[in-house]
Amino acid sequence: MYYYMFPTAFGYAAILFAKEPFLVKRVLLPHSRKSLIKKQILGTGPATAARAREAHNLCQDIQAYFNGSPLEPPWRLLDLSSLTPLQRLALEAVGAVPRGSTLTYGQIAEQIGRPRACRFVGSTLARNPFPVIIPCHRIVRANGSPGGFSGGTEMKRRMLALEKTNGIVAQ
């Protein structure tokens, strides 16, 4: 496995990927310090720093997202092989949530034909290997509170604020 680390307006982020064929295995959300993202990379197992054209392009897209640009999930570049069909369906539903919008875990459960599966949706999103790309930060609790997020609720709030203000980063 390989990694590509890069700066964003929210801190240092990284993607983990396979080269042949190029497939993104995981996206690591930004951290304020480079050492924290390196530590997280090391925690994923053996990974080697590498540059690949596809990785570079995707990282530029993620950087642009954190500067206020839209980001569409590049489904063909994502390694979804470890997901069950229902997990994939849930992530596809989340991938379709428009920028600047939010839905609840229950609404996603209804969209995938499992209206009582709110917890399933929540646990699937908690393990989303592609945060930012598959915008799980757009999914909130039924009462409107943020709910969980692998980058923390403060980052979730900042990302939602970024999307609602057309690129003005909320501090």
pLDDT tens-digit series, residues 61-103: 999 999 989 999 999 999 999 999 999 999 999 999 999 899 9
Q: What is the pLDDT of residue 168?
A: 44
- Tell how strand 139-140 and strand 103-104 pair up: parallel
Q: What is the pLDDT of residue 166?
A: 63
| Average pLDDT value for the chain | 91
Q: Is the dihedral of CA 141, 150, 119, 124 positive or negative?
A: positive
Q: Which residues are catalytic?
A: 136
**What are 2's strand-pairing partners?**
17, 48
Record the pTM.
0.89
Mean pLDDT of all residues in 25-47: 89
Protein fold of 83-164:
Arc Repressor Mutant, subunit A (1.10.10)
Residue 50 has pLDDT above 50, yes or no: yes
SS3 54: helix
